Chains A and B, each alone.
Chain A
């Protein structure tokens, strides 16, 4: 399969539209006939990461890259950055506020859910300089499954 990349813009603090980028990626993958279980894993990672940007960050981008042997989901934002990545990876640790929790988020499960649902995760973040999270999903040998 030829390489393909598509990006979606995410607006920080826009809770009404939060999740649209992840749903767009989910629909895109459905139209490309990927395994529904794989689509679900990628959609969950996309949605959790998008909520992180909307809650904590400034603006951001959610991108999907389709390669012959893997899919790469990348979220990039110009938000406040993650001070302690190890701590943020712990289930239950959260810097969210009550408004976020009223929306049903901010339980400290975002990054752990992203790690659980991806085959590889790489986080680059610096305080006040934004965050990039890249998640890799390997395709079965022989390419995508139907």
Chain B
């Protein structure tokens, strides 16, 4: 699923990543505990989270996450967006809850980080 399609499926706003709209994402994980993302194989996956701290970006960098979706209309502070820009990490903000955001993406055939549906 392309990042542009993820943005559409979530009626979302792209905060950063205009040049990455064609990037393909196949797996998805949702967590507010960063260790859960670090414990899974998150390489090139999508991370949905309700956290907007700088540690989300560092976790994404360490785990090799492909893009981050902030749920519940959350928008991270500018320094968090700047760090993602420096890393070329696309950021998306979804107006839906974690549950609904995940459900919409699952309906679009995204799998979990372990490849299961």
Q: Give the interface SS of chain A, mostly helix, strand, loop or mixed.
A: helix
Selecting from B17-25, B30-38, B91-99, B109-117, the interface stretch reads: B30-38
Interface size on B, residues (CB 8 A): 21
Using a Cβ cutoff of 8 Å, how many contacts connect chains A and B? 69
Are A104 and B33 in touch, CB under 8 angstroms?
A: yes
Are B35 and A19 in touch, CB under 8 angstroms?
A: no
**C-alpha spacing A101/B50, complex, angstroms:** 12
**Is the C-beta of B105 less than 8 angstroms from some C-beta in chain A?**
no
A85 CB → nearest B CB, Å: 18
A39 CB → nearest B CB, Å: 9
**Is the C-beta of A64 less than 8 angstroms from some C-beta in chain B?**
no
**Is the C-beta of B5 less than 8 angstroms from some C-beta in chain A?**
no
Output the residue of A19, A46, A101 with the most chain B CB within 10 A.
A19
Output the residue of A23, A47, A51 with the most chain B CB within 10 A.
A47
Are A16 and B62 in touch, CB under 8 angstroms?
A: no
| 6 A-B residue pairs with CB within 8 Å | A19-B62, A26-B61, A47-B58, A103-B55, A105-B33, A107-B36
Query: Which A residues are closer than 8 A to B by beta carbons?
Result: 15-16, 18-20, 22-23, 26, 36, 40, 43-44, 46-48, 51, 101, 103-105, 107, 109-110, 112-113, 116
